[in-house]
């Protein structure tokens, strides 16, 4: 009789354990769901982005961004001319469906699992648009520079903040880096003459060497003119803030760029010809097919 009651008690315990386990299971995701990316989940992703721009890099894929510091530190990995070397330390955090990443990511990340990796190829329409043709700027290979220049007092102070101008003072030109000499100054303006050495190369704020190939004191309606030949190469960059005062109309173009694209601090030399240097002030990722190497690191499920 005792054995019979023992069997009954054990059976009841097993039933209760099984029922409790089932109720616990009912409240959980289906198998595999707990590590599957769904709408509203917070996902942690390591990524490296690549692009191809045949004008600058030929057929080579070049890295434009990454979450992995090891990629940044690897000098053998080719990268875009405007690559940002800031320190990376964490995977990217994003909420699926919140619109914090580009369309191509939103489409492809759902259904992935922790530790999954993938390579995505995104057309420009699912990445970054528009590409603006008006941000292609032609610069003459040989530039004419007036021999005399007049600055307002405020302009002079912005270029030479610790300098008090006086007649015969010799300075390095704020853009071209060759010598200039102050000819006259008053309460409103400072006038100086450019006095470079002919047949000499200077590294200007463009960032490349420019050679003085002629100096004509009587040219430019008697104001004098200097001819400087640029030695730019494809892939070189110019910093927008440094050159916008020397390229007519560039300031307005950069305003357009900031309104329609993520801001970029640089223009890139994309073509050099006998008479023309072509600078592209579009953000380098815009208008291009992008490739992403993705790894899902972790998922926090939406509540």
Q: What is the CATH number of the domain that holds 87?
A: 3.10.50.40
* Same-domain status, 19 and 65: no
* Same-domain status, 100 and 48: yes
* Same-domain status, 21 and 94: no
Average pLDDT over residues 29-48: 83
Residue 80 has pLDDT above 80, yes or no: yes
**3-class SS letters over the chain:** CHHHHHHHHHHHHHHHHHHHHHHHHHCCCCCCHHHECCCCCEEEEEEEEEECCHHHHCCCCEEEEECCHHHHHCCCCCECCCCCCCCCCCCEEEECCCCCCCHHHHHHHCCCECCCEEEEEECHHHCCCCCCHHHEEEEECEEEEECEEEEEHHHHHHHCCCCCCCCCCEEECCCCCCEEEEEEECCCEEEEEECCCCCCEEECCCCCEEEEEEEECCCCCCCCEEEEEEECCCCCEEEHHHHCCCCCCHHHHHHHHHHHCCCCCEEEEEEECCCEEEEECCCCCCCCCEEEEEEEEEEECCC
Residue 27 has pLDDT above 70, yes or no: no
* Same-domain status, 60 and 4: no
* Same-domain status, 7 and 76: no
* Same-domain status, 19 and 61: no
User: 182 lies in a domain?
Assistant: no
Q: Tell me the pTM.
A: 0.85
pLDDT computed for residue 28 by the predictor = 43
Average pLDDT, the chain: 91
User: How much of the chain exceeds pLDDT 70, in percent?
Assistant: 89
User: 246 lies in a domain?
Assistant: no
Find the domain containing 99 and state its range: 35-127+288-300
pLDDT computed for residue 35 by the predictor = 85
User: 61 lies in a domain?
Assistant: yes
* Same-domain status, 41 and 108: yes
Residue 146 has pLDDT above 60, yes or no: yes
* Same-domain status, 62 and 13: no
pLDDT computed for residue 17 by the predictor = 42
Lowest-confidence segment of 9-18, 67-76, 193-202, 284-293 by average pLDDT: 9-18
Confidence of residue 303 (pLDDT cuts 50, 70, 90): confident
* Same-domain status, 18 and 74: no
* Same-domain status, 67 and 4: no
* Same-domain status, 65 and 51: yes
pLDDT by residue (tens digit) across 286-295? 999 999 999 9
* Same-domain status, 18 and 75: no
């Amino acid at each position: 009789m005792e054995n019979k009651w023992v069997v009954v008690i054990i059976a009841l315990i097993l039933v209760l354990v099984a029922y409790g386990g089932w109720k616990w299971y009912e409240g959980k995701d289906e198998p595999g769901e707990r590590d599957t990316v769904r709408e509203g989940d917070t996902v942690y992703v390591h990524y490296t982005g690549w692009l191809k721009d045949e004008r600058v890099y030929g057929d080579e894929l070049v890295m434009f961004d990454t979450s992995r510091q090891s990629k940044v530190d690897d000098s053998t990995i080719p990268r875009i001319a405007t690559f940002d070397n800031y320190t990376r330390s964490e995977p990217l955090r994003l909420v699926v469906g919140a619109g914090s990443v580009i369309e191509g990511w939103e489409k492809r990340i759902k259904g992935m699992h922790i530790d999954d990796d993938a390579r995505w190829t995104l057309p420009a329409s699912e990445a970054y648009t528009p590409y603006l043709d008006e941000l292609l700027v032609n610069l003459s290979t040989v530039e004419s520079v007036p021999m005399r220049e007049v600055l307002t007092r405020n302009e002079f102070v912005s270029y030479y903040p610790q300098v008090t101008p006086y007649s015969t003072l010799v300075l390095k030109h704020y853009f071209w880096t060759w010598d200039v000499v102050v000819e006259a100054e008053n309460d409103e303006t400072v006038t100086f003459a450019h006095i470079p050495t002919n047949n000499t190369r200077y590294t200007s704020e463009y960032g490349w060497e420019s050679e003085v190939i002629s100096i004509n004191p009587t040219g430019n309606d008697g104001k004098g003119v200097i001819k400087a030949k640029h030695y730019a190469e494809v892939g070189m960059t110019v910093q927008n803030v440094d050159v916008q005062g020397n390229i007519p109309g560039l300031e307005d173009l950069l305003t357009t760029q900031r309104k329609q694209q993520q801001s970029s601090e640089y223009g890139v030399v994309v073509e050099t010809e006998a008479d023309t240097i072509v600078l592209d002030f579009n953000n380098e990722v815009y208008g291009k097919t992008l490739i992403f190497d993705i790894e899902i690191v972790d998922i926090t499920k939406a509540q």
